[in-house]
Chain A
Amino acid sequence: MKKIIEVQHLSKIFGEHEVLKDIDFSVSKGEVVCIIGSSGSGKSTLLRCINLLEKPSGGQILYNGENILDDKHDTRTYRTKLGMVFQQFNLFNNHDVLSNCMIGQVKVLKRSKAEAREVAMKYLKVVGMEQFINAKPRQLSGGQKQRVAIARALSMEPDVMLFDEPTSALDPEMVGEVLKVMRELAESGLTMLVVTHEMGFAREVADRVVFMDKGVIAEEGTPEQIFNNPTQERTREFLKRTLQQN
């Protein structure tokens, strides 16, 4: 399978603190990869390094074989190929639902308004928010906001979708609707990279699970390997702790 994103020897240092240490990691086309691990293990930082919201301190990131950390590489064009979904939704508060999904297409991809509207409506239907196109973000519930945020990212028709703990800021009863949408997207063959605390989701949907601990990838493998036969002691510890809580 063709590798879309390849991370090589990636490191990230905040001041004195080394958050990511020599990470090697890749995502292939059509693959769903879930990154799990305790808070502060660096999983969100890894995701944010991949779309350059954080500048890596060392190593390289290859996108379709091209090094995107190269100065000549255009960051903005690269970012349009990645759809990002944030923990805090980050919908544009001054735009309504439809406009949130159109603005990137019109301003960045230079699509016509009519085309952008059509694409936006298509993906708003996918997430089941097509009836709320005129609502402002503040009028929506958390789950609805996150579904719109997913539609906004999809409207850019990216190659890879990045999810940064998409359900962590939601009330428990709203987690289901967002996970349902993500499950449908995974089944449609979209390439997805998901940082999550939802172990059930990771186990059922992921093709591959990556466990991170203290800035390194401690273990990776199929969900069966990670959840049923973890080889590392710290993976076992982590799973014991989180599965007990649930």
Chain B
Amino acid sequence: MELNVIIKTISKYWPMFIRGAGVTLVISIIGTIIGFIIGLIIGVIRTIPMPEKGFKRILLKIVNATLAVYIEVFRGTPMIVQAMVIYYGSKQAFNIDMTPLFAGIFIVSINTGAYMAEIVRGGIVSIDKGQFEAAYAIGMSHVQTMVNVVLPQAIRNILPAIGNEFVINIKDTSVLNVISVTELFFQTKSVAGNNFKYFETFFIASAIYLVMTFTVTRILRFIERKMDGPENYIIYANQMQVETPEDALRREQLMKGNK
């Protein structure tokens, strides 16, 4: 490995690397967000309590079975194969012409959705049954219970798993080069095809991937800490160590009295 080759490659091809990294980020961010939304919706549907009888029960069973098939198929096949089937397959079989970028976002979204559905379901199941019962007991519907009580708690609990999915997506968008999406791996391959310096060129690409994933994990950790809020404040940043509301009240009254 020669340093000057790396410097030369960067100075000559940097716009291609930047553009590739940009496409990778766009696909993985949009894909993760859409996948998360798909996962939320499916997670909520799959946890609806089963009615005892009637039309609603049959409908719910059909919907649940369909969702189970979706999850199994997209979790059980490689994304690289899904990409070929959806992009070239839809072109040949149904004459649907997608741009590679759109196809890429579509594939990453539904693939992430299948994983997220299970992550969200796990998050919902982990919430204490009493939270559901209390919400039902004051007359909330299943959706109201989910939106106002359960999901805010579940999402906090599954945030590390969501971060995992995001990092995986940043790396796995590289398989989309098979449908010629101009993401980072595709661009790197083009550069290496021009200068024949495979080692140096792909070394640059791996450095860019690492920077992207590292930044994302740091940001997510920061969000987690933000969401935890005062509990961390009490433990780490508050000199009172553990202050109960009574203590706070007493302290306030004391301060008022001193003035």
Q: Which of B54-85 contact A (CB under 8 A)?
A: none
Q: Given the known A-B contacts A107-B148, A138-B231, are A88 and B136 also in contact in the complex, defined by CB atoms under 8 Å?
A: no
A126 to chain B, nearest CB (A): 17
Q: How distant is the Cα of A86 from the Cα of B130 in the complex, in angstroms? A: 8
> Does B238 belong to the interface (CB within 8 Å)?
no
User: Is A94 a contact partner of B130 (Cβ separation < 8 A)?
Assistant: no
Interface of B is mostly: helix
Q: Which of A113-132 contact B (CB under 8 A)?
A: 131-132
User: Is A92 a contact partner of B131 (Cβ separation < 8 A)?
Assistant: yes
User: Is A153 a contact partner of B138 (Cβ separation < 8 A)?
Assistant: yes
User: Is A140 a contact partner of B148 (Cβ separation < 8 A)?
Assistant: no
Partner of B138, one of A55, A94, A108: A108
User: Is A76 a contact partner of B133 (Cβ separation < 8 A)?
Assistant: no
> Does B190 belong to the interface (CB within 8 Å)?
no
> Does A139 belong to the interface (CB within 8 Å)?
yes
Partner of A108, one of B131, B139, B152: B139
User: Is B139 a contact partner of A77 (Cβ separation < 8 A)?
Assistant: yes
B104 to chain A, nearest CB (A): 36
Residue of B131, B137, B152, B249 with most partner-chain A CB within 10 A: B137
Partner of B153, one of A53, A86, A93, A135: A93
Q: How distant is the Cα of A246 from the Cα of B40 in the complex, in angstroms? A: 50
Partner of B245, one of A80, A93, A132, A153: A132
Contacts of A107 in B (CB 8 A): 140, 144, 148
User: Is B138 a contact partner of A136 (Cβ separation < 8 A)?
Assistant: no
The digit string for B138-176, where 1 denotes a CB below 8 A from any CB of A, is 111100100011001100100000000000000000000
Interface size on B, residues (CB 8 A): 24
Partner of A92, one of B52, B149, B156, B231: B149
> Does B258 belong to the interface (CB within 8 Å)?
no
Q: How distant is the Cα of A149 from the Cα of B133 in the complex, in angstroms? A: 13
Task: Give the size range of A's interface with the partner.
Answer: 35 or more
Name A's B-contacting residues (CB within 8 A). 51, 53, 55, 76-77, 79-80, 82, 84, 86, 88-95, 103-104, 107-109, 131-132, 135-136, 138-141, 149, 152-153, 156
Name B's A-contacting residues (CB within 8 A). 52, 128, 130-131, 133-141, 144, 148-149, 152-153, 156, 230-231, 244-245, 249
Query: Can you give 15 A-B contacts (C-beta < 8 A)?
Result: A53-B137, A76-B139, A76-B140, A79-B138, A80-B139, A82-B137, A86-B137, A90-B133, A92-B149, A94-B156, A139-B230, A140-B245, A141-B244, A152-B138, A156-B139
